[in-house]
Amino acid sequence: MKTYFMNGHTSKGFYSLIEDFWAKSSEVFILTGNSTGAKGSVLKKAAEAMDSEGMEVEVYVHPDNGEIVEALFTPKEKLLVLADNSPLLPSSRYSGLGYKTLSLHDTVTEEKLKSRSAKLLLLLNELERLRDEAHRCFAKGVEIHEKKEEIYLEGMNFLKADKVAEELISDWVSASQCKEKEPIVSNHFFGAATAYGPINFIDKITEDLEHRVIIKGRSGSGKSTLMRKIGSVAEKKSLSVQYFPCGLDPNSLDMVVIPALKMAILDGTPPHVINPERSGDVTVDMFKRCMDPSVERQQEENLEEISEAYKQIMKTGTKYLHKANEIDRLLDSIYLDATKEKMFEEKTEEVITGLLNRLTKK
């Protein structure tokens, strides 16, 4: 099983790729009721059951902490299972779109929840506020980061960058004779800003690939543009392409995987530093190949100030997410206290059995 993010806390707010998955799914289930943690427990056990049956299943975790499972997708059967979690709440957001409901509502004692309703409302409102504050920090972070890009762009040689793109396309894509009958273009997040800081699953996602082209370089050195060009050429050659938007700025790219070529091209710079450690890894340094290094020396003090400001605002955003995660765990504890344990266990088995039967057409 490979783990990804389908949603993220970004500079654009809470950003979701659900609609991309929904569009290519043959069947969609939404797990409703009980808490985020409870739904995550059910989905985790369902994923493990699918995996033990030899089924390919992708696991998607919640960006609040990068741990709780909030979605499953089976690429072969194109079955999508979503947890009805905040802040997206897909059951209401996509009402009327023909999904099937898997309900955990009967697993909690309503009277107990009603007795804590005032507390629940306060916590839910605070959870929303904290997430919004984090998003504002991340938006400010991108704004600060763009100032650094502007400085480095002064030393950027775009003709040299185009040359690098041409070389990589020629070496890795154009020379390939591979062609797929039904190529698939998909989007995933390999990482996210979480309560514990930025985390990623790059190494696990790319473990089956034979080649990784690791792009190094400063801000504004054309890493995202380079990856987009390579992905575009691969698409034109009828190859499946997996795009991985940046978890902070979804308009930018951090990785492209071309499964048929068993290769990935990825941004190996902070906050997801990847160095050439495996056979088949190669590095392309856009700073050395495409930039005038004097711009860094001339703007050293300014760049240091910008980097420090960026670091501090991102730390503040992470603190808000940490507090939000604490609120979510309090909500889980309230729901856990109201959960009918035996019924929850029975419902978990019912959901898992139903999904397995659906996948095997029993």
Q: For 53-73, what is each residue's pLDDT tens digit?
A: 999 999 999 999 999 999 999
Q: Which residues contact 243 (CB under 8 A, 6 or more apart)?
A: 185, 186, 187, 188, 231, 253, 255, 256
- Residue 126 pLDDT level (bands cut at 50, 70, 90): very high
- Residue 177 pLDDT level (bands cut at 50, 70, 90): confident
User: pLDDT of 318-349, one tens digit each?
Assistant: 999 999 999 999 999 999 999 999 999 999 99
CA distances from 161 to 153, 164, 166, 171, 226 (A): 12, 5, 9, 15, 8
Handedness of CA 249, 203, 76, 39 (dihedral sign): negative
Compute the C-alpha angle 251/207/79, nearest 5°.
65
Q: Measured between alpha carbons, how far is 311 from 168 in angstroms, rounded to an integer?
A: 33
Say whether pLDDT at 362 is over 60.
no
Say whether pLDDT at 303 is over 60.
yes
In the predicted model, what is the mean pLDDT of residues 9-28? Answer: 95
Instruction: Say how many CA atoms lie within 13 Å of 194 toward its Cβ.
Output: 19
Q: Measured between alpha carbons, how far is 97 from 146 in angstroms, rounded to an integer?
A: 39
